[in-house]
Amino acid sequence: MFRTHKSGEIDEGFVGQKITLAGWVNSARDHGGVIFIDIRDRFGITQVKADPDTVSNEVLQVAHSLKDEFVIQVIGLVSKRPDGTYNPNITTGKIELIPDEIKILSKSDVLPFQVSEQSNVGEEIRMKYRYLDLRRENMKDNIITRHNMTKKIFDYLVDNDFLYIETPSLIKNTPEGAREYIVPSRNNPGEAYVLPQSPQQLKQMLMLSGFDRYFQIARCFRDEDLRGDRQPEFTQIDIELSFAEQNDIIDIISNLFGELTKELFDNKLINDEIPIISWEDVMNRYGIDKPELRTKEMQIIDISDIASKSDLKVFGDVVNKGGVIKSMVVDSIFTRSQIDKYTSLLQEKGAKGLAYIIWDEEGPKSPILKFFSDDLQKELFEKLGLSKGKTAFFQATDWLLANEYLGYLRTILIRDLELTKGKENELNFAWIVDFPMFEIDEETGKFASMHHPFTKPKEEFVPFLKEIGQKLKLGNKLTEEEKKQVLNVKADAYDLTLNGYEIAGGSVRIYDQELQETIFYILGMNETEIEERFGHMTQAFKYGVPPHAGIAIGFDRVVMIYQNMPNIREVIPFPKTQKGEDLLLNSPSQIDDKLLKELGLQVKRKNK
């Protein structure tokens, strides 16, 4: 037996007992010939005191040889620390171990960085030596918290009659979103599986199978451009219910996060009742469908009625063409260089520019003010609540772009002005509902699903969509007016947002075979393509489909937010870099020629 106890569980009640500990040397300090060793395991740290007056020369000799991160075993007597030497920062702070024996189990080379300190270390070094990084206290806490959250979610769902069911990781290629990772099949040359972006179709099949309530802690894969809140492989809590509607999902998930927060995070402040906001409303007010609500500042205001009466031609032209003039007031004064910076950032997003009014000590200033009469300026300032010490920004374009540009600017300003400083432990959730069913794919110019093709439209749009579907099935084209009407269709879809992130998304699913085929036709598929890509779904839909709905929680992102981490790599044990590389295992790597031959593949080599 390497140990009789764990470090974190030793307290004054053990004084006088002989115990055995095993772990890493967190530190070894020589205080005038007395060696103090902190031995660390997953559960805590215990101080070992090797005093020449109380231990053998052999033990003292071993103690002198110890270096950080040596793995040791210590057998000794638990003793109470002398008064005035307690360490209140650790659970074992009132005791120490007087060693009878210290055995070195393994030695450590010189460390690439200190494990016992929370000093800043370059991320590439941390990723290369991830096993050392995970020994550090904050990383250990992240992973243990992740485990505790997993268990709580698992228990909550099981207690609410959900069954944990696993779905396969090798599935059929049915493109419906991000690019997929391909897995060539050796037994079927020229053919391949893909890794699932989500278990979407399979969990719907489980509803057809009668399992009623399903969940899975699912590994998912997306070959997409990476950011701080994205990874090529990630974990989602996947949930599906039969005989359920939107409100059922909202109630279950809202209660889940309420209980999770209450039981595991007593330092967090959560909004008692999560607001439900329509997509159109949230875009009008915040310009983004995952708003940061820990601050309610900088809401977007439509000033088209006032701005169109000005002599500024661009404002009038935009409104006459059906566009809008939107404004956002910031409780701050900006320099010209700062405004130039924000203008450049918006132009990178596609905006033509950034109009502004600054109200400093001398009064309101702006190149656009000369186009507003005194009365119109007064009307504008009253509507915006613009006064001394504030700045107003403007966008003139179509409704969606005007909101998105100002929403993007709002996100940047919240960061730059540190408007959430001191609110790190606030959890401000919001449900966003009534999303558009379709959007236009920028590359193809065709309709694309805002969520995915299995999302049910709001009931009032179903008759119209079925008419459109029949028209397309017969090979007819849609008129421009019909295309506009399709883009106005609302989906029975919902997202849960938290502190400026989308943490969960789902929808009521289509269970009408005719409606499902209609959606496929609107998305530009013909009968052959539908059969080839989704024949398994259309076949299954012939045998009695229950109404069902579901949601998927981005678990890595949730842990990141609860732990106040800057990106999800901090809460994943072995993540990839933003280039999708694993620096620990040095992957991706070239494939052996013999394996390529077995798979019937040829690869064009590219020098790194």
Tell me the binding residues: 176, 222-224, 231, 451, 502, 509, 554-557
Give the integer Cα–Cα distance in Å for 307 and 199.
Answer: 49
Q: How many CB atoms lie within 10 A of CB 284?
A: 19
| CA-based torsion, 469, 470, 473, 474: positive or negative | negative
Q: 390 pairs with which residues across the strands? A: 359
Degrees, nearest 5: CA angle 99-103-107: 130
Binding positions for ATP: 222-224, 231, 502, 554-557
Give the integer Cα–Cα distance in Å for 329 and 320.
Answer: 25
Kindly tell me the burial class for residue 71, based on how many C-beta atoms sit within 10 Å of its own C-beta (0-12, 13-18, 19 or more).
Answer: middle
Q: The tokens of 46 are what? A: 């215990």
Residue pointed to by tokens 């600017």 = 409
| Cis peptide leading into residue 547 (ω within 30°) | no
Binding positions for L-aspartate: 176, 222, 451, 509
Q: Specify whether the CB–CB gap between 70 and 106 falls below 8 A.
A: yes
Give the integer Cα–Cα distance in Å for 111 and 66.
Answer: 14
Give the integer Cα–Cα distance in Å for 67 and 373.
Answer: 77
Strand extents, DSSP E, 13-70: 18-31, 34-41, 44-50
Separation of CA 457 from chain center: 26
Give the integer Cα–Cα distance in Å for 585 and 129.
Answer: 10
SS3 at position 427: strand
Q: For 554, what's the count of Cα atoms within 13 Å in the CB-facing half-sphere? A: 22
